[in-house]
Amino acid sequence: MTNPQRKPYIAANWKMNLDRTRVLDLVKILKARLGDGEDREVAVFPPALFLADVAAVSQGSPIGLGAQNMHWEEEGAYTGEISAPMLRGIGVERVLIGHSERRHLFFEKDEWMGRKLRAALSHSILPILCVGETLEERKSGQMEAVLTRQLSTGLEWTKAEELSRVTVAYEPVWAIGTGEVATPEQAGEAHAMIRAWLRGQFGEVPAENCRILYGGSVKPSNVASLMSVPQVDGVLVGGASLKAETFLPIVEFDG
């Protein structure tokens, strides 16, 4: 973390985990422990089914609330999907876009991400665009090409003046849910690459104002070293965010 404009952002991606009671218990614990949110921004991304309940329980706290995915159209015949106005209507103000599980397990296309990002921004929802290479892509020297493709398609319809509302999450696929974490050097290299691409595309100031998170096996034991890397502005946490014992030390990291 270097730029004071970029407040540290700690995001919890609960994926398809926890039941309603455990989701709400976790939110209550977070609410009680979180201060005024002055020095760091914390947001949870529960299963869509529980978003309205979490919105009610988290009211009056600085906890941000986000969906794990959404469709780019406002309404229509899209069975199983939810739209930006639906999310806004129940108090959701963030969304994950292009998580690697959406891309790899559900075959979501690169160009969809740009449309989703556009829809999110147009409805005042703060998107986190997830990008990251697989192990094969890294080993075959394609990391930069993959990140560039995911960034250029994901940000295709985003304007420079909107970039301060966009967060990018670098999540190497080989580090997600595997226990294998990128080294601070690997994270630093990828984040610098992403920032350089943003600078080239949108200009110096917008690129400096865009937060870039690291995701992939973030734990209490590695959060401080990751957050000490210049260019790492926060973390997107999966497994370790499912329990207060492991998520609170991440939220309260010393830095």
Catalytic positions, written as ranges: 99, 171
Centroid of chain to Cα 205: 21
Residue located via tokens 């999110």: 120
If we measure between CA atoms, which residue out of 38, 9, 8, 5 comes closest to residue 208? 5
Nearer to ligand PGA, 9 or 202 (CB): 9
Task: Report the distance separating Cα 208 and Cα 216, nearest Å.
Answer: 23
The CB-of-174 to ligand PGA minimum distance in angstroms stands at 10
Percent helix, strand, coil in the chain (nearest 5)? 45, 15, 40
- List contacts with ligand PGA (CB under 6 A): 13, 171, 176-177, 215-218, 236-240
Beta bridge partners of 177: none
If we measure between CA atoms, which residue out of 58, 26, 89, 35 comes closest to residue 243? 26
